[in-house]
A and B are shown apart, each in its own frame.
Chain A
Amino acid sequence: MQRSRVFLDAGGSAPLSSRVVDALQAGFADGWADPARLVTESRKARGLIDGSREAIAEVIGVGADQVHFTPSIHFAFERVISGIAQMRRAQPRIVVSAIERDALIHAAFHTRPHGVELIGVDTAGHLDINAFTAAVAADGVALAAVQHASQEIGTVQRLDPIARVCADAGVPLLVDASSSIGHRDAPKHWDALVAHPADWGGPAGIAVLALSPQTRWLPTWPEGDDWAPGGVSVPLALASAVALQEREQERLANAGRLGALVEKIRATVRRLEGVEVLGDPYERLPHVVTFSCLYVDGESLLSELDREGFAVGSGSACASGSLEPSRVLASIGALTHGNVRVVLHPAVTGEDVDRFLAVLPEVLGRVRSRLGAPRMP
């Protein structure tokens, strides 16, 4: 009998629930008109976008006028970083943590090719607050960026002292919350925040940018809608809001259940020979666990698990096709190969996890022996 697939790679792309699919259909049925025009059909489409913004703003804990839809988190990083830096163009530097997403770091370098300062993290992935404080307190910082939680290792940053340091120095803080909103309470103190609907079970192709009322920027782009040039897709906006509401309603229950499954995975893989669990064991996302395995390459491990019916992620250079090792794994001093990232979503069952844990040691042993690894005791 064919076993069903088990999807354990839900970071940034979780399966859509039936309510979210319904919302997409409703968005196409009722929100097909151009929201920018003045006719009744357009007002209806605009109403759906406004309602969606309100629902998301409520979860983030801000006013609806502070929330903007934007085509992707990449686009959001690029525009908000360049816009704030343009407003503060006398300040040549951008200070970011070394474990930010590549997209954010690339956007920072694009804006200030010679002015990006990466601040290191400890082995659990927490920002070096002393180095960060010194960097931000020095003259010439246009903005700082620190993630809320790592999509790669799950560690949640201690944002309160980070935000205080930025506020004291008068430096705007961009918080990448694209792996945390929908899974944890939104961070409270920031000047700009980016969130990612596909990470909370919404559709791909849309992102959320929130700006605090005092955040100032200047466009470095053509005139038009600053954050969504050409307009916002009504079905994607609506489905994003419905997905977030659904996740929020079930968040406590999900965090408890998925958190227990993650604990089980952590406890089980830690006992395997040559396997290390990464990230902060306590201050972390409830649904994410990453571990690295000696003597295997991520690509082989991933494909073997995929053949067995399990989809997992990997931060390994070998798997991502890049020649450079993963910056996140390198900066926490972890093995840069043989990484497995498991990101659970509400449809994952205890049986799914048990089956995964039953298959993993055998797959690991198979890949190791194929690569000629030394025998593990």
Chain B
Amino acid sequence: MTDGVTDVPTGDDPTPFQVDARGKACPIPIILLAKAAQNRAPGTELTVLATDLAARYDVPAWARMTGNHFVGESETDGGAIALTVRLRMA
């Protein structure tokens, strides 16, 4: 387990890495995401769970500014937004 990241299973969701930023206001979700992205293999997908609406804009902007790839967003059962990024190839 790495700082800020858990691999808690979420039902049938095969997502390997989740960053739980629920209840956190900007810019904390982005900081947690960046920490989780450190030292991970290129191509890894990370999913941020957030309740702060700003994350919907900030996660894609983070991906663009750091050269990573924004994959997409979806709603979760608990009302949070799940935003997925794929880390750039080194």
> Do most interface residues of chain B lie in helix, strand or loop, or is the interface mixed?
helix
Give Cα distance in the complex from A336 to B53, angstroms: 10
**Are A318 and B30 in contact, CB atoms less than 8 angstroms apart?**
no
0/1 string, B56-89, CB within 8 A of A gives 1? 0110111011100000000000000000000000
**Are B31 and A336 in contact, CB atoms less than 8 angstroms apart?**
no
User: Cβ of B8 < 8 Å from any Cβ of A?
Assistant: no
**Are B57 and A330 in contact, CB atoms less than 8 angstroms apart?**
yes
Give Cα distance in the complex from A295 to B33, angstroms: 10
**Are B26 and A374 in contact, CB atoms less than 8 angstroms apart?**
no
> Do most interface residues of chain A lie in helix, strand or loop, or is the interface mixed?
loop
CB nearest to B25 among chain A residues: A318
A374 — which chain B residues lie within 8 A by C-beta? 31, 34-35, 38
User: Cβ of A248 < 8 Å from any Cβ of B?
Assistant: no
A contacts with B, residue count (CB < 8 A): 25
B26 — which chain A residues lie within 8 A by C-beta? 297, 316-318, 325, 336-337
Interface size class of B (residues with CB under 8 A): 10 to 19
Q: Given A317-B26, A317-B54, A336-B54 in contact, is the A373-B31 Cβ separation under 8 Å?
A: yes
Looking at B25, B34, B61, B64, the one whose CB has the most chain A CB atoms below 10 A away is: B61
Q: Given A372-B31, A374-B31 in contact, is the A335-B53 Cβ separation under 8 Å?
A: no
User: Cβ of B43 < 8 Å from any Cβ of A?
Assistant: no
**Are A335 and B57 in contact, CB atoms less than 8 angstroms apart?**
yes
A334 — which chain B residues lie within 8 A by C-beta? 57, 61
B64 — which chain A residues lie within 8 A by C-beta? 333
CB nearest to B32 among chain A residues: A372
**Are B31 and A295 in contact, CB atoms less than 8 angstroms apart?**
yes
Give Cα distance in the complex from A276 to B58, angstroms: 13
> Other than the known A325-B54, A337-B27, what 16 A-B pairs have Cβ atoms closer than 8 Å?
A292-B61, A294-B62, A294-B66, A295-B30, A295-B34, A297-B27, A318-B27, A324-B53, A325-B58, A330-B57, A333-B60, A333-B64, A335-B61, A336-B57, A337-B54, A374-B31
Interface residues of B (CB under 8 A from A): 25-28, 30-31, 34-35, 38, 53-54, 57-58, 60-62, 64-66
Query: Would you list the 3 A-B pairs with minimal beta carbon distance, nearest first?
Result: A325-B54, A337-B26, A335-B61
